[in-house]
Amino acid sequence: MKRLRRLVLLTAVLALFAGACGAPDGGPVTPPARTPKAAPPLDMDSWSVARENERPGTTAWRLRDPGPSNAIEGFADQVGVTSGESFRLFVSTTARSFHVEAFRMGWYQGKQGRKIWSSIAQHGQRQAAATTVPGIYLVSAPWKPSLTVSTRDWPQGSYLLKLVSSAGHDRWVPLTIDPLDVHRRPHRLRQRGHHLGRVQQVGRRHQCLR
């Protein structure tokens, strides 16, 4: 009988303790959310252009509203880099902030692009006006770098970096990611030239490229 009373008393104490440690409003305690696992790194040993282009794509690479000419604009300090290297982006915008989305261009079931990477929001600023050297017409933009981007696990190919301002305006910056095989570096110039021509063609079609 005494053991039964002790068991009842212990149960009541545990119930009171659980109520004290519950939610402030007296509701049930919600377990902490699990941290999502990071995406696995790209397996370059099994990667191929054919397999890449079979992956689901998106049309989000297309420009929605370029806005005025100075709404957002930018350039990279490299025309192309080897996969795994970093490059700097120089961005000027009239908006308070912006972010960058990287799209690899390809078939992708007819959608012509796949989103590879997206930055967090970056502080927006209006960069200095470009200057032209008299006589030789060399245009120089004395801008400060806005962010450094790593291309780790980015597959080789032609990319469009989509600059998106907090005001909703967007622009492209073209970039080429070369394969890790250094023996293919001599093809970089030809690949980049084809890429830039393609970007200009897309720009004329959508009348958006600046």
At 19-37, the pLDDT tens digits run: 444 444 444 443 433 433 3
In a domain, 32, yes or no: no
In a domain, 131, yes or no: yes
In a domain, 113, yes or no: yes
Across residues 125-141, what is the average pLDDT? 91
In a domain, 162, yes or no: yes
pLDDT of residue 137: 87
Contact 160/170 with Cβ under 8 angstroms?
Answer: no
Tokens of 5: 């009373």
d(CA 143, CA 141) in angstroms, rounded, equals 6
In a domain, 139, yes or no: yes
Contact 170/65 with Cβ under 8 angstroms?
Answer: yes
- What is the torsional sign of CA 51, 55, 58, 61? negative
The pLDDT mean for the chain works out to 77
CATH number, domain of 126, equals 2.60.40.10
Pick from 177, 69, 62, 75: nearest CA to 113: 62
pTM of the prediction? 0.67
pLDDT of residue 47: 81
The SS3 call for residue 55 is coil
> Domain limits at 53?
49-206
Contact 89/161 with Cβ under 8 angstroms?
Answer: yes
pLDDT of residue 75: 96
pLDDT band at 181 (very low <50, low <70, confident <90, very high): low
Q: In this predicted model, what pLDDT tens digit does every residue of 41-55 receive, in sequence order?
A: 566 667 888 899 899
Helix (H) or strand (E) holding 194: helix 188-206
In a domain, 129, yes or no: yes
Tokens of 1: 């009988």
Rg of the chain, C-alpha, whole Å: 26
In a domain, 145, yes or no: yes
pLDDT band at 6 (very low <50, low <70, confident <90, very high): low
| Total count of domains within the chain | 1
In a domain, 159, yes or no: yes
